[in-house]
Structure 1
Amino acid sequence: MSNTTPSNQPSHTAPADLPRSLTLLQGTALNMIDMVGIGPFVVLPLVIKTLGGPLFLWAWVLGAVVSLIDAFIWAELGAAFPKAGGSYNFLKISYGEQKWGKLLSFLYVWQTLIQAPLVVASGAIGFAQYASYLMPLDEWQRKAVSGGVVLIIIALLYRKIDSIGKIGLVMWGAVLLTLGWIIIGGLSNARIPLSETLQSMGSVSGGILAAGLGQASVKTIYCYLGYYNVCHLGGEIQRPSRNIPVSMFISIVGIAGLYLLMNLSVVSVVPWQIAQDSQFIVSTFVETLYGAGAARLATVLVLLVAFSSLFAVLLGYSRVPYAAAVDGQFFGIFAKLHPTRQFPYMSLLFLGGLGFVFSLLFRLGDVITAILAMRIVIQFVGQAIGLLLLHRRRKATEFPFRMPLYPLPVVLAIGIWLFIFFSTGLTFMLSGLTVIGLGIITFLISSGVRKQWPFSE
């Protein structure tokens, strides 16, 4: 922790110095490439195996519903407080900037130092897994590929935000091209009637469905995460009170439609009994339809999508430690902007470097579950409760965007996130709570040394 306060920071570290260069289209593109990534391509078989047969489609539906409900919370907060750092600012303002808000926002940054590199690592590990379809890779070679991808992403992000927005649009085009090919190719060459798949979805009792839905939804919700990436870039979005909410809802509805169509397309060609054991489901799918040459091309496109997602993920998260440091609540070095390119380069290098290390150490399945378990309590549940507190203290006119049927979406979001948290399993629940506990201890030690709240008024 640093004793540096915002008033003592050099002028070049002020949040206002981040230029508002990202348009609605660029913000939406960065959101969508963040959401897709490698996730749906490696998670699809895992979800089928968890629920069995066509029932896996319900997990994708639930993931979309959870994301849409939670997006109302992000939309209200993002439109009202469009600053770099997203949840860091939301938690600080919601719980009070002088007391509990300090603790909650600190815990969010504390978690970000671990879970953001884990997100980067999950994409890089998935990238290496799919790359092994093109050529057999030993374990050390996979790690070399995953680590190398992270280093390339860091190099690409080491530039001005306006050029990053243009790069994001190109990557978005690759995402749409890949998903479009899968959807059109499968549905136009279906070998298993869709009527059979859809009929099977409704042929199971609610109790049996609920038993496996929570565990499967942990994986599918991971594939939707990123709809709020535009909030982390809030200080760089044009017309934020309008563009932040619109960007999120366009992203969720668009990606949900693409995911469902992609899943229907795949199981219309590859029987679910085979799909559930495939490490390269998209490659297997395309090879079944068009042969090995087309499958290799599809694999290259999947790798490009995964690469694009890592680009958006690291871009958004690099703004979080920066925002906390500018606020005097984190190491002052993270508040530094590049002297000529005006981006938080120290934050980018730290998170990217840790993501590089994690990509060499962990397995994909464990990383996905750990990411969600670590974020739910502070970020998602804490943020939802914080919005309820804000509505008690502030007038409706202070919220440029207002959700319909308030507070029902907030209450639903809290209940669903807690259900998902318990579905991660005892080991991952305890690991998430342990990280929070260590963060509280660190915060108390730091506050005691600096004689700040709760040890001083």
Structure 2
Amino acid sequence: MNKSTTSAVADTPLPASASSTCSVGRTIGFATMIAICIGVVVVQGSMVSALQGIGFGGAGFLAAAAVAFLLAQCNALTFAELSLMFPRAGGTLSSYTEAALGPFPAIVAVYAGYVVVAMFGLSAELLLVDAVIGQLFPGLVPEMVVPLGILGVLAVLNILGTDVFARLQNLFTFAMVSALLLVGLSAVTGSVNPPPAELAGAIEWNWDGVLDGSFLGLVALAMWLLVGVEFVCPLIQEVRNPERNVPRAMMLSLCLIFAIFFLFCLGASLYLPLDTLTTSPLPYLDYVEAVFGKAGLIVATVMAITATCSTVNTVLAAVPRMLHGMAVNGQSFPQLKRLHPRYNTPWVAILFMAGIIALPFLLLGIDSIITLLIAASTSWLLAYMIAHLDVIVLRRRQPGLARPFRTPFYPLPQLVGILGMGYVALNNSPSPEMTQTVYSLTGVVLLIVSVIAALWVKLVMKRGLFQAEMPKG
């Protein structure tokens, strides 16, 4: 376990064409792959989503999480097949989609699945950091200073090619998972402090919401607990035995994450009242304090902030390189392919990502966190649906391509993924009012992206919107 997501991505050759000629050492083992998958997923936002979800839906949220788990496994199968088909194309969604559907869907898929998701999801993470600091040091630290400082410092460090979290990320992931398990087990067993008797029955554990189908409105929120394991795919040239380890790592990671959050939520239902679960901006801090007292609060806070730093750092290391590769291939603005003359890092793309992450954080407040997470999840669903379609189209158009991994029971996982996530996207929140807000927020951003992408393909790339082209190399 000697190499993390960020260090591996940072070491990956930047030019898309170079990936076909450079020999990259296969240094990432199976355990590190598990740490990468879990480390990207288990963040503050997922903890908030899990606890608010159990408050909103009780048993219905557990059913929603089970549906989200099934859809996430379908996603893992699809990305395993695609990434192993094009191992020299950088393992990016733009490469798969351009080969299957053409440049317009490729551009939209990357922006929907990574740029827009980072814009909404990491803004929520920064809002959570701001709330944590405000709770620990009320009135002592000005609002927004610490989150913007974290974002700025990590952006500069990535431009300089210095990643202070790279060697410690596996340790942070292990510590975060251990903490979640410790809290969940301590809560379920009551080994530290017994659960308050007055909270017995506070959570609705009846199955009415499952039987009438209303739990499906919580699936988008539950998806946030299980999206992102495909971040391991761009590292495919550095993975040992990728044909075996890439699918196994993603699928096993999802099983571990589901089990961890199931235990975490079950314990929370014993210690937190319903109004705390559904309205507190930091329910996981309330949870830890209820189980361990004040002593556990500082540790939980430090780990929560560390998780956010690690996730922001991972995104600033990975997504700008995706944008750089797209710019090199003519799929995006040429400014994004600029490299720092000394450090050879995509500094313009890094600053671009830092700017769009900061924008919602500056414009929205702490009460927008769940809306931001559902908006990010909804946008990610669109990207996953496109990936499933890629597999189906390439099976028909390119049946002779080598496929080291073939999706079992094809095309059932892809059809389940497309139909299931399409339905979830149309029923993406616990209330009609929130659904309307999510559609407005996500729709406007994706509409702008789609218009720019269409104009770019027609006027700059001078290609058909759906003119498929196999990646070179």
Q: Does TM, normalized by the shorter one, top 0.5?
A: yes
Partner residue of 1:368? Answer: 373
Partner residue of 2:145? Answer: 144
Q: What is the CA–CA distance in structure 2 between the aligned matches of 1:412 and 1:354, rounded to whole Å?
A: 33
Q: Which one of 41, 50, 53 corresponds to residue 35 of structure 1?
A: 41
Partner residue of 2:7? Answer: none
TM-score w.r.t. length of structure 1: 0.84
Task: Describe the shift of the 1:337–1:252 C-alpha distance in structure 2 as closer, same or farther (beyond 3 A).
Answer: farther
Instruction: Out of 29-38 and 78-87, give the one that drifted further.
Output: 78-87
Q: What is the CA–CA distance in structure 2 between the aligned matches of 1:12 and 1:73, rounded to whole Å?
A: 22
Partner residue of 2:75? Answer: 70
Q: What is the CA–CA distance in structure 1 between the aligned matches of 2:17 and 2:233, rounded to whole Å?
A: 19
SS in 2 for 1:14: helix
Offset of residue 240 of structure 1 = 3.6
Partner residue of 2:265? Answer: 263
Aligned positions of 1:82-101 closer than 5 A: 82=87, 83-84=89-90, 86-95=92-101, 101=102
Offset of residue 159 of structure 1 = 5.9
Report how many aligned residue pairs link the two structures: 436
Runs (5+) with no aligned partner, structure 2: 1-13, 429-434, 468-473
Q: What is the CA–CA distance in structure 1 between the aligned matches of 2:158 and 2:119, rounded to whole Å?
A: 15
Partner residue of 1:182? Answer: 183
Offset of residue 35 of structure 1 = 0.3
Partner residue of 1:60? Answer: 65
Partner residue of 2:171? Answer: 170
Aligned positions of 1:403-442 closer than 5 A: 403-424=407-428, 425-429=435-439, 431-442=441-452
SS in 1 for 2:144: helix
* CA-atom RMSD in angstroms: 3.3
Q: Which one of 307, 310, 313 corresponds to residue 311 of structure 1?
A: 313
Offset of residue 348 of structure 1 = 2.3
Read off the aligned partner of 1:116 and give its amino acid letter: A
- 1:302 has 2:307 as partner: no
Read off the aligned partner of 1:38 and give its amino acid letter: Q
Q: Deviations over 1:244-272 (max 9, x none)?
A: 32221122111111111111122233344
Offset of residue 72 of structure 1 = 1.0
Q: What is the CA–CA distance in structure 2 between the aligned matches of 1:235 and 1:345, rounded to whole Å?
A: 24
SS in 1 for 2:195: coil
Partner residue of 1:128? Answer: 130
Offset of residue 230 of structure 1 = 1.1
Q: Deviations over 1:200-241 (max 9, x none)?
A: 645426443x21x23322222122221111124445545443
Q: Which one of 391, 398, 404 corresponds to residue 395 of structure 2?
A: 391
Partner residue of 1:46? Answer: 52
Q: What is the CA–CA distance in structure 2 between the aligned matches of 1:148 and 1:62, rounded to whole Å?
A: 38
Partner residue of 2:459? Answer: 449
Q: What is the CA–CA distance in structure 2 between the aligned matches of 1:133 and 1:301, rounded to whole Å?
A: 15
Instruction: Out of 338-347 and 105-114, give the one that drifted further.
Output: 338-347
Q: What is the CA–CA distance in structure 2 between the aligned matches of 1:388 and 1:319, rounded to whole Å?
A: 27
Partner residue of 2:5? Answer: none
Read off the aligned partner of 2:173 and give its amino acid letter: W
Partner residue of 1:204? Answer: 208
Q: What is the CA–CA distance in structure 1 between the aligned matches of 2:348 and 2:243, rounded to whole Å?
A: 29
Is contact 2:37–2:229 with CA below 8 Å preserved after alignment?
A: yes
Aligned positions of 1:375-386 closer than 5 A: 375-377=380-382, 379-386=383-390
Q: What is the CA–CA distance in structure 2 between the aligned matches of 1:18 and 1:154, rounded to whole Å?
A: 28
Is contact 2:331–2:461 with CA below 8 Å preserved after alignment?
A: no
Instruction: Out of 117-126 and 16-25, give the one that drifted further.
Output: 16-25
Is contact 2:109–2:386 with CA below 8 Å preserved after alignment?
A: no
Q: What is the CA–CA distance in structure 1 between the aligned matches of 2:328 and 2:289, rounded to whole Å?
A: 51
Runs (5+) with no aligned partner, structure 1: 1-9, 96-100
Q: What is the CA–CA distance in structure 1 between the aligned matches of 2:415 and 2:460, rounded to whole Å?
A: 37
Instruction: Out of 423-432 and 175-184, give the one that drifted further.
Output: 423-432
Offset of residue 321 of structure 1 = 0.5
Is contact 2:330–2:461 with CA below 8 Å preserved after alignment?
A: no
Read off the aligned partner of 2:303 and give its amino acid letter: L
